[in-house]
Structure 1
Amino acid sequence: MKIKFAILGYGHIGKRHAELVSRHPDAELVATIDIVSSTNLRASEFKVPHFTSIDDFLKSDIGVDVVNICTPNGFHASQAIKCLEQGKHVVIEKPIALNKADAEKILEAANKNSRFAFPVVQNRYSSTVKWLKEIVSDGRLGEIFMVQLNCFWNRDEHYYTKGGWHGTLALDGGPLYTQFSHFIDVLNWIFGDVKNINARFSNFNHQHNTEFEDSGVVTFDFLKGGMGSINYSTSIYQSNFESSITVVGQNGTVKIGGQYMNSLEYCLIKGAERPILKDNQMMNDYGAYKGSASNHHLVVDNVIKSINGFEEQHVSLSDGLKVVDIIDRIYTHRDARITKKPLRKEQLTT
């Protein structure tokens, strides 16, 4: 059965969703929805109706199976619940919500209405990430001693446009939600939940355009044993530097890295040869900046096959909820007073 999609939120990532849906032989794009007019968005290229509110769309007689939610983070939960309550499946861009309570409400609505809700965490499809999941699950590294996650990206003045949603607590939420939740998902998927969280935050060069930190250092223990850390920043000079995981285990050490966790940089495992993995250089390119791995076509394919009963849902809504839960717990250590650096003397006089 051909699955009918509507795209809610027609910004950078919404356009990507629309493009991939329109290409899939078992999918049909039936509408785009955004508060900005179709003409200004150039959404008319797909020759489908455009609505300027989700309520107007849901009141229309257009048949739709799935609504892809690609709006600012702070709208994800309420819009997902509204669509689920109307009997629609939903695809929710990361993060599914900006706090655990709202994420749980999405799960409740999905269960109540017997609908699918698909979190978008496309980095799981990368060959390097799938390989790391396999060797950890198979016990090839033995006991896991330490895991270090590094996420060092650039987000500049152009990204934090004045009057936009990026940089706000209410709609953005912070780097762990907007930039790095994909990698928190990878950490949780492979190594499990965490405890004993400690964190430090600072805002080095985004004091005038964000309401939260641009950098942080987080330490914790895994429930299954071993300790871990997350080091992240969006204040990297000029361009993204790396997203990496280093794993120190009883029987070996491995590191997957590159700008988007797309390369096997180090591998020494007892009794094993270094594998040959596809180095996936594809990432979401938004012109002024770049995002995570560009595997959204695999997400769309799984949505279609899951609804048609051909395969299981690859990423559960509970997985998306756990990512929000972990970030929520990390951010309980965040104090707004220490994320804004005081102005220097020369800045006060200009």
Structure 2
Amino acid sequence: MRTPVPTAHDQPRRRATRNGDPLRGRLANRERHGAVIRSAVLGAGMAGRRHAEFYHSRPDVELTAIVEPCRDERIAGLPGSVPLFDSLDNLWEADLNVDVISVCSPPAAHCANVLQAVERGVGCLCEKPLTRTSAEAWQLTAAATRGAAPVIPVHNYAHSPWWRSLKAAVYAAVPETLTVSIERPHAAFGVAGRHAGWRTDAPVSGGGIVWDFGVHALYLADDLFAAAPLSARTSCWREERGCEIECDITFTYPGDRLLRFTGSWCSRRRTSSWCVTAQTQSGGAITLTRQSPSGTGLWLDGVFAEYLMAREGSRAWRRTLRSSAAAILAAEAARRSARSLGTTVLLDAAALHPV
């Protein structure tokens, strides 16, 4: 058996036997540890550190392992008593009886990493984008819905106070349009010591600003309209090395509702604007705009609550997973529209997932 490299203090590992059954081990763990949930984090970049800190802060969760192949400055500051593994295979070999793992690796590895966990009956919190392609999203979604372990996409914006207040303000009205504008001087960089520029490396990321920020807009539109998009039409699209750095896309939804997403990684400003237009019962119109603040790590509580409900038998996570997969399909449709000179591309989001 391989020996994990701890981040600070060398502690002996705890073993638990699954006896070939991915659920039996978890049930035995509950008997020994009561309601404590055993978690792990894959990836110690910016997102992974937020997940590790989140788990470490919860009295009902034990952070049992961090998987990170790189031995660099990212390890500094992580909880010192947590064993560090350099691969998922080594984590599974250690048989630590993990209940849930946060997948915070670059998108190219999401599908394979989540499938490994699902096959072992381990629940997942998967960072966005869910996958690089709709084909991968289909494979992952089909496996998750057949298996016993939930896969929860990290739709953290949907649990943010600013989004909840915006939805509450239009609760009694009929939302018609969601307009999202994201401006950045450049793409965000990963942590030094690894592939810091993966967001602009299409084979790793899947795409550019649509895959990075557009998926947020798409799952929020799904939340607002309670429907998947019907079509995509791109009026502006500028690429560098296969990744879009500037775009203007209109997605249509049932009932003539619209999502308009404009994004730029070459702006002189750094802004994020989310605007909802809705029709009131009296026939009037209201328009509400929110500027999304920083602090996304604080919104993991709502995401983790979905996992806790899934442990109790709820299947609501499947809708979140379908929404995340449909966002990848819509992003691909926007790219096809751009490459066909702005032709409207129809989507069949229902065909993407089995349930």
TM range, smaller chain: 0.7 to 0.9
Aligned partner (choices 93, 102, 120) of residue 86 of structure 1:
120
Q: Which residue of 2 is the match for residue 324 of structure 1?
A: 328
C-alpha separation in 1, matches of 2:341 and 2:335: 13
Aligned length: 301
Q: Residue 195 of structure 1 is aligned with which of 208, 230, 233?
A: 230
TM-score (norm 2): 0.75
Does the aligned pair in 2 maintain the 1:3–1:304 contact within 8 Å?
no
2:82 paired residue number: 48
Q: 1:251 is matched with which residue?
A: 284
* Cα pair distance change 1:53/1:336, threshold 3 Å: farther
1:152 pairs, out of 183, 188, 193, with 183
The question of 1:182 aligning with 2:216 is answered yes
List gaps (5 residues or longer) in structure 2. Answer: 1-34, 343-355
Which of the numbers 241, 245, 255 marks the counterpart of 1:224? 255
Amino acid at match of 1:283: G
- 3-state secondary structure, aligned to 1:217: strand
d(CA) in 2 for partners of 1:202, 1:77:
27
Going from structure 1 to structure 2, the CA distance change for 1:47 and 1:308 (only over 3 Å counts) comes to: farther
Q: Report the Cα distance in structure 1 between the residues aligned to 2:45 and 2:188, rounded to whole angstroms.
A: 18
RMSD: 3.1
* Separation in 2, partners of 1:60, 1:159: 29
Q: Deviations over 1:237-272 (max 9, x none)?
A: 2x52122123153422222221x1xxxxxxxxxxxx
Deviation digits for residues 20-69 of structure 1 (CA, Å, limit 9, x no counterpart) = 00111110100000111277622653311111111111122212011110
Q: How far 1:156 moved relative to its partner?
A: 5.5
Q: Is the 8 A contact 2:167 2:224 kept in 1?
A: yes
In structure 1, what is the Cα distance between the partners aligned to 2:295 and 2:117? 29
Q: Aligned partners of 1:4, 1:336: CA distance in 2, in Å?
A: 48
Any idea what SS the aligned residue of 2:200 has? coil
1:67 and 1:90 in contact (8 A); partners too = yes
Moved over 4 A (4+): 156-163, 308-315
Using the TM superposition, name which of 312-321 and 90-99 deviates more.
312-321
Match of 1:73 among 107, 132, 135: 107
Q: What amino acid is the match of 2:184?
A: W
Cα deviation for residue 134 of structure 1 reads 4.5
Considering fraction of residues, name the structure with more helix: 2
SS at match of 2:203: coil
Counterparts of 1:16 and 1:165 in 2: how far apart (Å)?
A: 19
TM-score (norm 1): 0.76
Contact 1:302 1:314 in 2 (8 A): no
Distance (whole Å) between structure 1 residues aligned to residue 262 and residue 216 of structure 2: 14
Residue by residue, what CA displacement relative to the aligned partner does 1:219-252 show, whole Å, maximum 9, x if unpaired? 2322222344221112222x52122123153422
